[in-house]
Amino acid sequence: MLETILAISGKPGLYKLVSRGNSNLIVETLDAEHKRMPVFATDRVISLSDIAMYTDTEEVPLRQVMKNIQQKENGGPTSLDPRKATKQELTAYVAEVLPEFDRDRVYPSDMKKLLTWYNLLLENGITDFDESLQETQGDNIADREKAASDDAKA
């Protein structure tokens, strides 16, 4: 599911991929409005499944960090309000979730965005951050696309 959830540079919030056009993507906001809009090649778009968090040893996929937050909060929203939290509170919270995160390369704005995104996904019923399920779904999509292209060739 995180493959179809997008972050667009310069635009707040998260977006769900609805459709693909020839030169653009159609996305829908993950908020109460569910407003649809086109996103063009000039916009910097990244899937949440492609984002990782820096640690002292390696990069940890965002889905694993989200899963850690989900376990800490017992499936509920974050106990810390990211908009009102201080730098020290954010650092302490993220250290509980991911103790080895790189304190030099992960900025307070990144931590706020992480907690805001987690709460936004939770509000929209996206709570499955399990990697094995995501890989299986991705394989099924790839298999279907390959089968469709094979049928088109025949």
Q: Pick 64 or 141 by higher pLDDT.
A: 64
For 54-77, the pLDDT digits (tens) are 999 999 999 999 999 999 999 999
Asked if residue 57 and residue 73 are part of one domain, the reply reads: yes
Nearest to 35 by CA among 51, 11, 62: 11
**CA distance linking residue 15 with residue 8, whole number of Å:** 8
Query: Are 44 and 73 in a shared domain?
Result: no
Per-residue pLDDT at 131 exceeds 80: no
pTM more than 0.95: no
Kindly state whether residues 36 and 71 are assigned to the same domain: no
Residue 117 sits in a domain of what CATH number? 1.10.10.1650
Q: What confidence tens digit (pLDDT) does each residue in 33-58 have?
A: 899 999 998 999 999 999 999 999 99
Residues 108 and 90 sit within 8 Å (Cβ to Cβ):
yes
- For residues 69 and 13, state if they share a domain: no
Is residue 37 domain-shared with residue 67, that is, in the same domain?
Answer: no
Regarding whether 146 and 108 lie in a shared domain, the answer is yes
Tell me how many domains the chain contains: 2
Domain of residue 18 covers 1-50
Confidence of residue 139 (pLDDT cuts 50, 70, 90): very low
